[in-house]
Amino acid sequence: MLGLQLRCIHNREEFEAYEGAKLNYSFQPFGDELFVMADNLLFERGISDQEITFGEYNGQITLFQTYNKKSLFPFDLFSASFYLLTRYEEYLPFIKDKYGRFDAEESLAFKKGFLGKPLVNIWANDLASKLLKVFPDLEIRTSKYQFISTIDVDAAFAYRHKGMLRTLGGFLKDIRARDFREMHTRSLVLRKKLDDPFDTFDYQFEILKRYNLKQIYFILFADYGTNDKNTPTHSRIFRELVRWIADHADVGIHPSFTSNSVSGKLKKEINRLSKVLHREVTKSRQHFLILHLPSTYRNLINNGITDDYSMGYASQIGFRASICTSFLFYDLEMESTTTLRLHPFAAMEGTLRDYNQLDADAAIERYHEIIDEVKSVGGTYISIWHNESLSDKKRWKGWRAVYENMVEYALP
């Protein structure tokens, strides 16, 4: 994060003889050198329940409290950062939600009230300040705030281009539910008397151009299933839409719900999308934000994905890994750093609307709060919206205004 080239020295004499910028990270200081007292975590092998002690420093909660007057910090910020970044607690037994996910409410960050704080960024900035006081010539990278807008395309169209069987099934569903208003709307859209409510792509690109946004689309390109109800991938209109999107923005794969459990499914979906785009697909975000550590990330790595944007929660906004800058996935079981770069998102519109039951005004306020946190540490704010939620119709009535307000507020 700080852009420093590190060298680990395990010999005391060699450390003391070194004349450049240095930091003693161990269980005791040698003299008057910069010193951070260590906890045991980074000296252990394997995964086990951790007895975490908590404290407070500069108004923020701390993990892995230590006690040594010579230490730069009253806690082991390296162990704390490692624990949070690796998602250590997600390797331990936990109660899954109905989709088999690690629930935000089960997390240490939620229970201790720091889910809305990018603690790792805060600690890194504190460390940088202390290092520069002693080593003013040290070249530390200054992070600059960025905003990345992302759109998940779970279903490109609500009614059109579904195929005959699914279209008939939709009408039958309306009849069984006696939802004649929905049936009338479906009929008007199919007869092109009304726009398809999910087809908001012209509006999206109007906003993209107006604010010169960096935007990434994650497209569900899977076979039809219970939790994967995208437009059929063989649809010519859908394929043309995907290529049109790729002409204006980055495109990644939205791996299907079942891609975590069915061998070879992810590879099939990536190859299918790649053939339509005529380019490699290297970015991803999990459909339903399904993350099983470490298997989900291993699956992505094995299929050529280099950047994933799934690190976040469905039920709460905030910082799942307590950070708002990208970082490399560390496989705790293999005890090794991988090539997969994780880009944590901070807020999804469905979290505020569906899980938190907020109206438009309250949602805007929450967006401002989380964006302020990211801006304060020079991080990257990544938002999630869906083409459906930008329809400004039915349950999403009034939310286009929320989106535009969020975009304007999030601009650098």
Using CA atoms, how far residue 37 sits from 17, 27, 40, 191, in Å, is 21, 5, 10, 70
User: What is the predicted pLDDT for the residue at 168?
Assistant: 75
Confidence of residue 178 (pLDDT cuts 50, 70, 90): confident
Q: pTM (2 decimals)? A: 0.94
Cβ atoms 387, 403 nearer than 8 A: no
How far, in Å, CA of 22 to CA of 16, rounded?
9
Encode pLDDT of 261-291 as tens digits: 999 999 999 999 999 999 999 999 999 999 9
CB 281 within 8 A of CB 246: no
Per-residue confidence (pLDDT) for residue 170, from 0 to 100: 65
Average pLDDT over residues 132-142: 92
Identity at 147, one-letter amino acid code: F
Domain at 146-158+197-410, CATH class = alpha beta
Using an 8 Å Cβ cutoff, are 370 and 181 in contact?
Answer: no
Return the number of other C-beta atoms located less than 10 Å from residue 412's C-beta. 8
Q: What is the mean pLDDT of residues 90-119?
A: 97
Mean pLDDT of the residues in the chain: 95
Q: What is the mean pLDDT of residues 391-403?
A: 96
Q: pLDDT category, 391, cuts 50, 70, 90?
A: very high
Per residue in 215-251, pLDDT (tens digit) is 999 999 999 988 998 999 999 999 999 999 999 999 9
pLDDT in tens, 283-314: 999 999 999 999 999 999 999 999 999 999 99
Please state, for a pLDDT cut of 90, what percent of the chain lies above it: 85
Say if residues 23 and 76 touch (Cβ distance below 8 Å).
no
Q: What is the pLDDT of residue 374?
A: 99
350: left (phi over 0), alpha (psi -120 to 50) or beta: alpha
Question: Is residue 190 very low, low, confident or very high in pLDDT (cuts 50, 70, 90)?
Answer: confident
**Banded model confidence at residue 81, pLDDT cuts 50, 70, 90:** very high
Confidence of residue 166 (pLDDT cuts 50, 70, 90): confident
What percent of the chain lies above the pLDDT cut of 70? 99
Q: What is the pLDDT of residue 346?
A: 99
30-78 confidence digits (pLDDT tens): 998 999 999 999 999 999 999 999 999 999 999 999 999 999 999 999 9
d(CA 166, CA 225): 12
313-335: average pLDDT? 98
pLDDT band at residue 318 using 50, 70 and 90 as cut-offs: very high
